[in-house]
């Protein structure tokens, strides 16, 4: 943790912006603020809930605690009511994502298969991280961080952006991000 924070500070102090695409919400803002000095916060862009919402680390209003759409609330209730999910996993709903974590009695892959079958042909994407199964609106992607970084930091479309992730193989939550030309997987690759 501390070595990573030092390396990030060294990059940020050289005026190189950093984007973080994560399935997490406000907890990532809290943790990054504890690890990084305030002088570099304006160069850190966070894509909360797998790219559903963007915000810089120096902004207090991101992610917003907006009400989830009626469609995602209904899907969350349906997922939570499923017998395997209700007895073996926690189902957390945020404004743009349903995150399911297993209690250890079923594997993450099994949980993913059940969730994907329930979601079916609806307009939602189901991805998997190393600890959770996430359901987001189909148009949501970690690629939104790249688009926002280019706009927010004045980067040209030809400027390379290094993308690093750990779940590059579908249904991994980094699979779309790691399709970019300058990408590196530290675990699963496509």
Query: CA-CA distance, 102 to 10, in Å (whole number)?
Result: 37
For the chain, give the percent of residues with pLDDT over 70: 99
The pLDDT of residue 106 is 95
Torsion of CA 176, 114, 131, 75, to 10 degrees: 80
| Strand positions, DSSP E, 73-162 | 89-93, 98-102, 124-128, 133-137
Single out the residue of 106, 173, 107 nearest to residue 142, CA to CA. Answer: 173
The pLDDT of residue 65 is 74
Single out the residue of 180, 181, 172, 21 nearest to residue 189, CA to CA. Answer: 172
5-20: average pLDDT: 95
Query: CA-CA distance, 156 to 55, in Å (whole number)?
Result: 20
CA 55, distance to chain mean position in Å, is: 13
Express each pLDDT in 145-187 by its tens digit: 999 999 999 999 999 999 999 999 999 999 999 999 999 999 8
User: With DSSP H G I counted as helix, E B as strand and the rest as coil, what are the percentages for the chain, rounded to 5?
Assistant: 40, 25, 35
91-107: average pLDDT: 94
Q: How far is CA 85 from CA 40, 50, 119, 139, in A?
A: 41, 22, 13, 25
Q: Residue 163's beta-bridge partner residues?
A: 183
């Amino acid at each position: 943790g501390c070595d990573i924070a030092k390396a990030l500070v060294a990059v940020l102090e050289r005026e190189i912006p950093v984007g973080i695409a994560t399935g997490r919400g406000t907890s990532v803002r809290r943790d990054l603020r504890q690890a990084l000095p305030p002088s570099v916060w304006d160069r850190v862009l966070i894509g909360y809930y797998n790219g559903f919402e963007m915000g810089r680390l120096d902004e207090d209003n991101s992610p917003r605690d907006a009400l989830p759409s009626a469609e995602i609330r209904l899907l969350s209730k349906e997922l939570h009511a499923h017998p395997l999910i209700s007895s073996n996993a926690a189902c957390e709903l945020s404004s743009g994502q349903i995150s399911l974590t297993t209690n250890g009695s079923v594997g993450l892959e099994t949980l993913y298969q059940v969730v994907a079958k329930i979601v079916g042909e609806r307009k939602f994407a189901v991805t998997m991280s190393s600890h959770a199964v996430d359901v987001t609106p189909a148009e949501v992607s970690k690629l939104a961080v790249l688009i926002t970084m280019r706009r927010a930091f004045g980067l040209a479309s030809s400027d390379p952006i290094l993308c690093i992730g750990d779940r590059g193989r579908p249904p991994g939550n980094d699979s779309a991000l790691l399709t970019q030309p300058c990408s590196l997987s530290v675990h699963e690759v496509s």
